[in-house]
Amino acid sequence: MKSLEDYLKLPYTIETKRESDGSYFIKVKELPGCMSIGESIEEAYAMIEDAMAEWIQFNLDAGRVIPEPEEYETKTYSGKFVVRISSRLHQELSDAAEENGVSLNHLVSEMLSQGSGIVKTQRKVLEHLLYRVFPPPLVLSEEKVPMEMETKAPKWTPLKEHLKLYVNSEEIPNKEVVL
């Protein structure tokens, strides 16, 4: 089993983004929830190193498997793959390609490219919103005593306790169903 030091030597993928307020948001791609924010890029990088050590040690202590860095260099892609679709969809795509004066391959490639861009954008927006609503978990002091984090988000309460669904039908006349 690898030690904390072994994991810290691995080449994890660090993703950096400059926020609109000028601060820097950094996360470790392979370690979900391992992130930091700093006023400068240097501060953010210094903080991510500490965050990685804390994240890895916490998960080692909990007996969890620590993800290792992805090896992009070893993977190569030919740019070709086979997709099975219905004959109806095949016909619709072929018709659309013909109407636009492009090959079926070009049309599908463009559609996949646009869809991929949309998914990436949605993922970034979701991460940004989740980070604003649910900031990183508790910050631990030297003594490992939980300290409160300041947040603008309202306190979260389970939906189940506050939502009632009323069903009016012949099978269940005027019965209240609590989720």
12 shares a domain with 52: yes
58 shares a domain with 18: yes
Residue 159 lies in a domain: no
Of 18, 21, 17, residue with least CA distance to 29: 17
82 shares a domain with 66: no
Residue 119 to residue 32: CA distance in whole angstroms: 18
62 shares a domain with 22: yes
Radius of gyration in angstroms for the set of CA atoms belonging to the chain, rounded to a whole number: 24
Mean of pLDDT values over 60-74: 81
Domain boundary among 73, 96, 117: 73
pLDDT at 7: 92
Residue 152 predicted with pLDDT over 60: no
Which tens digit of pLDDT belongs to each residue from 18-27?
Answer: 888 989 999 9
Residue 40 lies in a domain: yes
Residue 49 lies in a domain: yes
pLDDT at 78: 85
Which tens digit of pLDDT belongs to each residue from 34-49?
Answer: 999 989 888 988 899 9
Residue 21 to residue 25: CA distance in whole angstroms: 11
Other beta carbons within 10 Å of 3: 11
Mean of pLDDT values over 42-71: 90
DSSP strand pairing (139-140 vs 24-28): unpaired
Q: Which domain holds residue 114?
A: 77-152
Residue matched to tokens 């501060």? 43
pLDDT at 30: 92
85 shares a domain with 55: no
Could you give the residue ranges of the DSSP H alpha helices within 12-63?
A: 41-61
115 shares a domain with 68: no
Read off the CATH number of the domain in which 51 is found: 3.30.160.250
Residue 1 lies in a domain: yes
83 shares a domain with 66: no
Could you give the residue ranges of the DSSP H alpha helices within 26-173?
A: 41-61, 87-100, 104-133
